[in-house]
Amino acid sequence: MKQAFLVFLGGGLGSVLRYLISKPLNPLFQNFFLGTFLVNMIGCLLIGFVLGITAKGNLLSSNGALFLATGFCGGFTTFSAFAFEKHHLLRNGELLNFALYMLSSVGVGILAVVLGLWLAKLIS
């Protein structure tokens, strides 16, 4: 239960910070969501750093890593987990799985958005 609370707390903090960064920055450029882009890149940097120092041993507890990587980065951006997982595939030489996962994630994700918009239009 303690671990679930750490994820909950970190996720809430990450989500609020994402909102506070994205809201003022996204409208600055037409057709480029600067706030979202920055949040995603910061999240990638942060999850890499957190998981890197966790792997070294005594620098961060498993609960600290859970709070920061799963909770905070998960709430701040799911893109960070996506990027870390793709790095893992590349590092292990799984190029086919990397390519398939990348293409299907982006392609199916876009199709899912289109489908969701279509379904919403049906009921409204």
- Is 52 assigned a ligand-binding role in the annotation? no
Distance CA 72, CA 105 (A): 22
Between helices 34-55 and 2-25, what is the axis angle to 10°? Answer: 150
- Is 77 assigned a ligand-binding role in the annotation? yes
How far the first Cα of the chain sits from its last, in Å, is: 40
Binding-site residue positions: 74, 77
Binding-site residue positions for Na(+): 74, 77
